[in-house]
């Protein structure tokens, strides 16, 4: 199956959910390339963005598990980038 590159955005509204979310991240660490978290203390929320690379099934499983956590909103965006489409491109020109 082809790998895709994407971004997953989370808004955590309930601090009690942070430990469960981190546990899910650990389970899917093989597809997480990068992570950034910013607390918005004045609003009482935490925003986390993940850069991911994996199959649509893997990314969907990750976002599905996160979406089931109480007090967490999640949205993902996958690019049209597919690993095998760009293998023949001369990367020195990019």
Residue at 84 is within a domain: no
N residues, the chain: 94
Domain count, the chain: 1
Q: So what's the pLDDT on residue 81?
A: 77
Q: Give pTM, 2 decimals.
A: 0.83
User: What's the CATH number where 52 sits?
Assistant: 3.30.70.1150
Residue at 93 is within a domain: no
Residue at 37 is within a domain: yes
Domain boundaries, position 11? 4-78
Q: Strand order in 4-12's β-sheet?
A: 32-40, 45-54, 4-12, 72-82
| CA distances in angstroms from 72 to 4, 28, 52, 66, listed in the order given | 24, 17, 18, 7
Residue at 35 is within a domain: yes
- Lowest-confidence segment of 14-18, 29-33, 53-57, 89-93 by average pLDDT: 89-93
Residue at 59 is within a domain: yes
Residue at 34 is within a domain: yes
pLDDT mean over 52-77:
96
For residue range 10-41, list pLDDT tens digits in order. 999 999 999 999 999 999 999 999 999 999 99
């Amino acid at each position: 199956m082809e790998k895709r590159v994407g971004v997953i955005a989370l808004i955590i509204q309930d601090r009690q959910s942070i430990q469960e979310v981190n546990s899910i991240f650990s389970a899917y660490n093989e597809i997480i390339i990068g992570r950034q978290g910013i607390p918005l203390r004045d609003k009482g929320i935490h925003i986390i963005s993940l850069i991911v690379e994996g199959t649509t099934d893997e990314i969907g499983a990750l976002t599905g598990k996160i979406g089931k956590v109480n007090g967490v909103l999640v949205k993902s965006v996958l690019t049209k980038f597919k690993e095998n489409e760009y293998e023949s491109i001369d990367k020195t020109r990019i």
